[in-house]
Amino acid sequence: MRTLLSRLHSILVTGAIVIGASIVTAGAAATTALASSAGPDFGSNVRILTPSMPQSLVQATLDSVSGQQVNNQFGTQRFALLFEPGTYGSASHPLVFQVGYYTSVAGLGLSPNDVVINGAIESFNQCFGACTGLNNFWRSVSNLTLNIVLPSSHPAYAPAPPEDPGCANSNDLYAISQAAPIRRVHINGLLFLFDYCNTGFTSGGFIADSEFTGSTVVNGTQQQFLVRNSQLDGWTNAVWNQVFSGDTGNVPAQSFPNPPFTTLATSRVTREAPFLYQDAGGSYNVFAPSAQQNSAGPSWTSGPTPGTSLPIGNFFIAQPSDSAATINAAIHHGKDLILTPGVYKLEQPIDVTRPDSVVLGLGFPTLVPTNGNAAMTVASAKGMLISGVLFDAGATNSSVLLQVGDGHARSDNEASDPSALSDVFFRIGGAAAGNATTSLVVNSNNVILDDVWAWRADHGNGVGWTTNTADTGVIVNGDNVTAYGLFVEHFQKYEVIWNGNGGEDVFFQNEMPYDVPSQAAWMEAPGVDGYAAFKVADSVTSFAGYGMGSYSFFNQHVNIYAERAFEVPSLLPAGSLHDLLTIFLDKVNGSGGILHVVNETGGSSTVANPDTPVTVVSYP
Q: Where are the domains of the chain?
A: 1-34, 39-265, 344-619
> Does 344-619 match 39-265 at the fold level?
yes
Residue, of 28 and 179, whose pLDDT is higher: 179
| Phi-psi sector, 589: left (phi>0), alpha (psi -120 to 50), beta | alpha
- Respond yes or no: is residue 511 known to be catalytic: yes
Please, where are the H alpha helices in 55-163?
A: 55-69
Q: Is 573 exposed, middle or buried (0-12, 13-18, 19+ CB in 10 A)?
A: exposed
Model pLDDT, residue 367: 99
DSSP designation for 305:
P
| Secondary structure (3-state) at 451 | strand
The confidence band for 519, taking pLDDT boundaries of 50, 70 and 90, is very high
pLDDT per residue as tens digits for the range 534-592? 999 999 999 999 999 999 999 999 999 999 999 999 889 999 999 999 999 987 777 89
- pTM greater than 0.85 (yes/no): yes
Strand partners, 473: none
Cα 306 from Cα 289, distance rounded (Å): 6
Q: Does residue 161 have a cis bond before it (omega within 30 degrees)?
A: yes
CB 384 within 8 A of CB 355: yes
Indicate the angle between helix axes 28-36 and 2-14, nearest 10 degrees: 140
- Active-site hit among 511, 524, 563, 567: 511
pLDDT per residue as tens digits for the range 258-312? 999 999 999 999 999 999 999 999 999 999 999 999 999 999 999 999 999 999 9
CB 600 within 8 A of CB 569: no
AA identity, residue 149: V
pLDDT per residue as tens digits for the range 48-92? 999 999 999 999 999 999 999 999 999 999 999 999 999 999 999
Q: Considering the chain, what percentage of its residues have pLDDT values greater than 90?
A: 84
Is 39-265 in CATH node 3.40.50.2020? no
Strand partners, 525: 528
CB 131 within 8 A of CB 125: yes
Lowest mean pLDDT among 34-43, 143-152, 216-225: 34-43
Mean pLDDT of the chain: 91
To which CATH superfamily is domain 344-619 assigned?
Answer: Single-stranded right-handed beta-helix, Pectin lyase-like (2.160.20.10)
